[in-house]
A and B are shown apart, each in its own frame.
Chain A
Amino acid sequence: MGPKKRILVVDDAAFMRMMIRDILTKNNFEVAGEATNGDEAVSKYIELKPDLVTLDITMPGMDGVTVLKKIRQHDPAARVVMCSAMGQQAMVVEAIQNGARDFINKPFHPQKVVEILRRALR
């Protein structure tokens, strides 16, 4: 097994960030950093150069899809996995059309999250 993959966790809810962090750390990922809004996410991405970003699709201010576009503008190879809730099909679809690698649905099933992130990191 190679070095731990470094993940940037973006979510405006502290609870969600904590949950993802728990799942990640228990499964041999490294949380490179956390961001609570879009601007922060973009600057942290540039600063930290993580292997993957988990990006909440709805956040106050800049929404997830816009953040995704900005990140991929900066780094077209960026691996981004969207975190969405039920009923956000249109946004998920838009994100995928804009280069998101995959998406995970809230509420999170740790097994599934891990599986999806591993696949996205291939």
Chain B
Amino acid sequence: MDNLDLKAYLPIFIEETRDNIQQISENLLRLEQDEKDIEAINEIFRAIHTLKGMSAAMGYSEISQLAHEAENLLDEVRHNQAHISTAMITGFFHIVDEFEAQLNSLEETGEPQKITEDRFQAILNSFSQPREPAPAEEGESYLLEIFFSTDCMLPQARAMIVCNQLNSVGKLLRTSPAQNLLPELASLDKLKCWVTDIRPEQVRALLDGGAEIDYYTIEKSGSGRDEPVETEETEAPVASDQEDADSPDSRPESHFFRHTIRVDTEKLDELLNLVSELVINKTSLQQAATTYPMLADGVEHLHRLTSDLQTIVMKMRMIPLETVFNRFPRMVRDTAISLDKLVNLEIHGAETELDRTIIDDIADPLVHLLRNAIDHGIEPVEQRLSKGKPRDGTVILQAYQTGNQVIIEVSDDGRGLDMEDIRAKSRELNLLPGLEPEGNELANLIFTPGFSTAENITDLSGRGVGLDVVKNSIEALGGSIDVYSRPNAGATFKISLPLTLAIIQGLLVKCGQEIYVIPLSYVEETGIVFPGDIQTIGQQQIIMLRGKVLPIIFLNQLLNMEGYSAPEELSFVVVRFGDRQIGIIVDDLLTQQEIVIKNVNWGEHFFRSFLGCSILGDGSVVMILDINVLLSVVKVREVNHA
């Protein structure tokens, strides 16, 4: 089998190996909590073993070798020859890191990285116990190269037999591929053996006359150990097919019973595009049906089919947040250790699903918030104890769905936000001239660009990147973020995200000669208003809605429309952004319909006021308003009933 065929397994290899790495990480953390957690040890063992087998099958002998070393170390633990220490866990994490680096390299280049001998040793040295010294060598040593014939059945088993035989006569120093990898290989055409304490004629007596061995060479060699690690072999052992590549115990049984298949995400995107086109065409047919009633039944049926299809495609794109959350325990552990704090991370609702385009972009903001919580929220141990708080701080990462939104909260039980600091800083930056915000409004100022103060920039959460960047990335996803602080009881960052980015329900509004879409998820209510109903309090225009004051803003002003003149009757759309409400004044409400979001991948910052574009049934392009971004420039105050 040539390399091309192996490449076909690469995506599934990467994916399953990531799963296994994840398993290892999770269980290492469990093990750190309870060093007697046999189940965790066994899980790690199983995952490493699988990883070893799979990488050997792919011909990645170095990854496999590393897994083998990890397996050996773990075996010592299993047999009580070593005990679990933080250093040991950290050592295992270094191995995990190396696996990850290898996977990244595979993903980017299709090739594993070379692990230098130094790197290899450095990883192994990170374990506290010294590694066994290499056994001393005696006498002459030889390098044997044994070529197996093409019709040799199970050359890897044959190679093992050769190794056993060589060892029974002389001493086998090293082989390539490594002896311990032989059982896992799917095929093999050449074996190199460095042997000592053996005479060439003894070798010949062992190897001659075997039909399975095509030929062999034997030459004197200095020392087996000094031989450079050969790389060419990495191409030799290849999987002949999936069945053979996996030893029977290397996969959890459930794989065979789960009725799922893996699909390339590009295909999913393609499918979604096609469905989107279909939705657009359906919409234009629906318009046609109003003119030609004979079409109505057919179009109605098409409508149902399309929306079912759309639902299914959207569901197919949903992934549980787990895929992002599960790397956090490790991150929190490392962060806490580096800051010398004690922190427990609780994760709830990891099964909550989101569109994968959102999932991809939510990780970085969450990392920032978690680091922030540990760094600025959770107090050092002495402080906590003196406040009468539990010694270990708690950070809770929680996700849940409500309506067509997903909420992700990051809470800590630390000191909370320092409101006086924020007030001082906001005065200094002149953020709200003439206003004295309180409570949440004040707290939310921490998302203002440039707000991060010098004192709270540490090498961890600071990085010169403030919470405004977090807010921007969340808003780029069509979401919003708010902070709630309880003095000395902690802070909660609450992120709201749309379930999906691809197709939304939108409200079409008219303003001047232009049509815009307001995502329905922001809309609380709509109504009609006459210019005479609009009052001004301070600098804020408002209307009274059921006896309550509603601040308003004209869409034409938000969008810098030239030559706009307001009609005699206007409409308002009440939108909620964050915890605030505002009425957007438009000329007219047109219709409510499904909107397929088409992104414009160019000059994003010019298109910032918009979530994207959409194509209507008549082929025209409309812009979808990004309410969060548009309104973030508007300083709306809660206006008390005057």
Contact = CB atoms under 8 A, between A and B. Distances in A.
Interface residues of A, number: 18
A93 B159 CA distance: 10
B211 A89 contact: no
A87 B246 CA distance: 12
Given A103-B154, A111-B211, A119-B210, A96 B160 contact: yes
B183 interface: yes
B264 interface: no
B247 A96 contact: no
A102 B212 CA distance: 12
Contact of A89 (B156, B161, B209): B156
A101 B161 contact: yes
Interface string B139-165: 000000000000001101100110010
A90 B160 contact: no
A115 interface: yes
B183 A93 contact: yes
B436 interface: no
Interface in A71-122: 86-87, 89-90, 92-94, 96-97, 101-103, 105, 111-112, 115, 119, 122
Contacts of B160: 93, 96-97
B244 A105 contact: no
A93 B248 CA distance: 12
Contacts of A112: 211
A119 B209 contact: yes
B316 to A, nearest CB: 35
B153 A96 contact: no
B209 A96 contact: no
B570 to A, nearest CB: 76
Given A89-B154, A89-B156, A90-B248, A96 B243 contact: no
Contacts of B244: 87, 89
Nearest to A93: B183
Contacts of A97: 160, 183
A96 B157 contact: yes
A122 B168 CA distance: 12
Q: Which 3 pairs from chain A and chain B are nearest by CB?
A: A93-B183, A105-B153, A92-B157
Given A89-B154, A93-B183, A96-B160, 11 more contacts: A87-B243, A93-B154, A93-B156, A93-B182, A94-B183, A96-B157, A97-B160, A103-B157, A111-B211, A112-B211, A115-B211
Interface of B: 153-154, 156-157, 160-161, 164, 182-183, 205, 209-211, 243-244, 247-248
